[in-house]
Structure 1
Amino acid sequence: MPAEALSQPQNRLQDLPSLEQLLASAHVVSLPMRVKFRGITQREALLLDGPLGWGEFCPFPEYGDAEASRWLASAVEASWQGFPPSLRSVIPVNATVPAVTADRVPEVLARFGRVDAVKVKVAEPGQTLDDDAARVAAVRSALPDAAIRVDANGGWDVDTAVKALTRLSDVGLEYAEQPVPDIDGLAKVRRRLQDAGVPVLVAADESVRKEDDPVRVARAGAADLIVVKVAPLGGVRRALEIVAQAGLPAVVSSALDTSVGIRAGLALAAALPELPYACGLGTVSLLAADVTRDPLVADDGAIRLRDVAADAGLLSEYAASPDRRDWWLDRLRRVHALLANPA
C-alpha cells in the first residue's frame, strides 16, 4: 500500500454516520486521575453510543483537527462498523508507572495486581536522570522478575538517551519507547546502543502514530519494534495494515482511554497474527473513575476480551461541564467535516 494511502484514516465514506447521528449519540465526560499523567489530572472523552456498541473520541486537547480525525474514525469503527475477528481471548498487559517519586512506586503497582511487565515513564520535564533511575530501581526491587520497559515520550536528545539507557540498562530493560522525538534520532540511538553492546531494544511510538507515513520508521531501520495505538492510527483495521506493512513486532498500547477505548485496543491485540509483548492496555487503573461499572482492568496480568457498555448513571455523574461539553461537540463538528470531505 502506498505511503500516502496510509496517511489518511481508512474509513469508507459511505459508512460515516451523519453529523446529526453522532451528535445525538454523544456523551462527554471528565474523569479524575489517581495521579497526574501527561500533565493532566482530569481525562476528558466524548463517547458515542452507536448501533454496534460504544466508541470513544478522546484526542488530547492540544491535538489539531487533522490528527484528531483519526481518533474519530476509530470511534466510528467501534460504534458503527464493529471490530475484525479475534484470534485470542486473553490479552497480557503491563502495569504503568507514571513519573512519580520512587517511594510511590509500590502504591502505584498495587493497583494493577500481579503483573509480568511494567512500563515506567522517564524523561519527565523538571526531573533528572537520578529520579528516573530511582523510579526504575524501585520497580525492579518490587518486581524482581518482571520485564521492565521505559517510555521517554521523545524527551531526550541522542546523547542524553544513550547515557540514560546505558545507566538504566543495569536493572535489565526489555526496551525503551521513543527515547528521542524523531526518526533520524531513533536510528542514531539504536546504532550507538548496539555499537556499545548495551542490550536495550528501541521501540517507536510517536514516530509511528504522528507521522504522515507511519511505516517510515521501519524502512529507516530506526526501531526494533513499534507501539501501536488504535485511536491515533484511525481504528483497528488501519492499525493492522500498518503492522503488516512495517514488518516489525508490535506492542498494543492505549492513549489513556476509558474502558470503552481499551475495548478497541483489546480488539487490535486480539486480531494481530502475533502478540510477542504484554500490551499497554492496563491504564484504566490510573483513572479514579470510569464510564462502566465493570471496568476493563487486569486480572492476574491479563484482560479477558469482552464488550463493555457505558453506564447511564456514571455518564451523568461524570458529565463534563456545559462549556467543556460545548467545546467537544464543536470539535466533533469540525473533525466530522474533515472525514466527510477529505482533501
Structure 2
Amino acid sequence: MPSLDELLECAHVVTLPMRVRFRGVVEREILLLEGPCGWAEFSPFVEYDDDEAARWLAAAIEAGWEGFPAAVRDWIPVNATVPAVSAAEVPDILAAFDSVRTVKIKVAEKGQSLHDDVSRVGAVRHLLPDASIRVDANGGWNVEQAVQALTMLNVFGLEYAEQPVPSVAELARVRQMMNGAVLIAADESVRKASDPLAVARAGAADLLVVKAAPLGGVRRALEIVAEAGLPAVVSSALDSSVGIRAGLALAAALPQLPFACGLGTVSLMAGDIVNPSLVAVAGGIAVREVAADSDLLARFAAPAQRQHWWRERLGRCHAKL
C-alpha cells in the first residue's frame, strides 16, 4: 500500500470533455496516478460516497503498484455505445466507432418515453442490420415496464438487456417473466452491491457485467466471476484510456470471453490523456501498455478548485483502505 504522500506526489487531475452527454455527464473528471508498475486511474463519479469510491482507489493501486495478472488473449472485441440520444443523432454517434459489430444502447432515460427507446434502437438496427444489439436501462424501469419494453424492443433482436430493474428480486422476476426471450444481465446489482454474488445465488441473471474499478480491481473481479459461475461481459465506467487499460486487463485474463466488451467509451470523449487513445479498430482493441502524455495532461488539467477537491477525496478514500 503506497502512502498518501506517495499518491499525492504522482497525482494528476484532468477534465475531459465529452462529445455528447452521457448519463448526464458533459465533462469527465479523472485523477491519474503514475505508479511504479504504470499509470492508473481513480475516477469514481463525483456523487459516489467515500466508501464506494474507496474500491475504485483499491483498483487504481492494483494497476499502478501491483500490475495486472497474466493475459490469455491479446485482442478484445468491443461494442459501440449509443447514449440516450434522439434517433436522428444515432448515425453521428456510430460514425465515431470503427467497424461496429455489437452496439449497446442506453434506454429508460429519465424524461424520455418508451417511444424514444424504440426509435433509437430501431435507428441502430436500420443502420446495422447484422450487428448484435444490447440495451442498458441502468435500473430505470419497474418490473411491468421492463417486461413491456423488452417485449417491444425485442422485435429488433436483442442479445441481452442490462440491468432493466434496480433490485436483485426484481431482476429475478423479470427474468422469470421473459422466460428466455431476452437474456438478463446484471450490472449495478453486482458492482454497487455489498454482496456482488447475490445475483447468482438468486438466479436473477443470465450473465454478469463486471467493471474492474468499482469491484476493487482486476483480481477481485476475476474472483467474483469465478465464484458466480456465470458468463461475464467486461465494461468500463466512462474511463480515459488509462482506465480502459485496466478493463482490457480484466477481459484479457478471463478464462472465457463469450461477449464483446463495453470498453469503447473513449470514442464518446472529445479528449484523452493517451496518444494514441485506446479505441476500437476493426471491432476490437489490442491489449497494450499506455502512458499519459505530458502535453495532454497539461491541456486538460482541471481548475485549481477541482484539483483540491479530488486530492481531498483521495485522502479520505486512502484512509478507508
TM score, norm. by length of structure 2? 1.00
Q: Where does structure 1 differ by over 2 angstroms across 4 or more consecutive aligned residues?
A: none
Matched residue type, 2:59 = S
After superposition, the C-alpha distances for 1:220-267 in whole angstroms (9 at most, x for unaligned) are 000000000000000000000000000000000000000000000000
Q: Please state how far the C-alpha of 1:293 moved relative to its aligned partner.
A: 1.4
Q: Please state how far the C-alpha of 1:115 moved relative to its aligned partner.
A: 1.5
Does residue 252 (structure 1) correspond to residue 234 (structure 2)? The answer is: yes
Matched residue type, 2:290 = V
Indicate the residue corresponding to 1:8 in structure 2: none
Indicate the residue corresponding to 1:40 in structure 2: 25
Q: Please state how far the C-alpha of 1:59 moved relative to its aligned partner.
A: 0.2
72, 76, 79: which one aligns with 1:94? 79
237, 240, 243: which one aligns with 2:222? 240
Indicate the residue corresponding to 1:6 in structure 2: none
Indicate the residue corresponding to 1:142 in structure 2: 127
Q: Please state how far the C-alpha of 1:287 moved relative to its aligned partner.
A: 0.4
Q: Structure 2: state its 5+ residue gaps.
A: none
Q: Within 5 Å, which residues of 2 pair with 1:1-343?
A: 16-194=1-179, 199-339=181-321
After superposition, the C-alpha distances for 1:145-173 in whole angstroms (9 at most, x for unaligned) are 00000000000000000000000000000
After superposition, the C-alpha distances for 1:280-317 in whole angstroms (9 at most, x for unaligned) are 00000000000011100000000000000000111011
C-alpha RMSD of the superposition: 0.5
> For this pair of structures, how many residues does the alignment match?
321
Matched residue type, 2:120 = R
Q: Please state how far the C-alpha of 1:327 moved relative to its aligned partner.
A: 0.3
| Percent identical | 67
Q: Please state how far the C-alpha of 1:40 moved relative to its aligned partner.
A: 1.1
After superposition, the C-alpha distances for 1:60-109 in whole angstroms (9 at most, x for unaligned) are 00100000011000000111100000000000000000000001111100
Separation of aligned partners in 2, 1:106 and 1:182: 33
Q: Please state how far the C-alpha of 1:175 moved relative to its aligned partner.
A: 0.2
After superposition, the C-alpha distances for 1:177-228 in whole angstroms (9 at most, x for unaligned) are 000000000000000010xxx6210000000001111011000000000000
Matched residue type, 2:239 = D
Separation of aligned partners in 1, 2:137 and 2:268: 18
After superposition, the C-alpha distances for 1:15-50 in whole angstroms (9 at most, x for unaligned) are x10000000010000000000001010000000001
Separation of aligned partners in 2, 1:321 and 1:248: 43
Matched residue type, 1:322 = A
Separation of aligned partners in 2, 1:217 and 1:323: 40
Q: Please state how far the C-alpha of 1:139 moved relative to its aligned partner.
A: 0.4
Separation of aligned partners in 1, 2:275 and 2:203: 44
Separation of aligned partners in 1, 2:212 and 2:203: 23
Matched residue type, 1:330 = E
Q: Say which SS state the counterpart of residue 302 (structure 2) adopts.
A: coil
Separation of aligned partners in 2, 1:243 and 1:160: 29
Indicate the residue corresponding to 1:9 in structure 2: none
Separation of aligned partners in 2, 1:275 and 1:61: 31
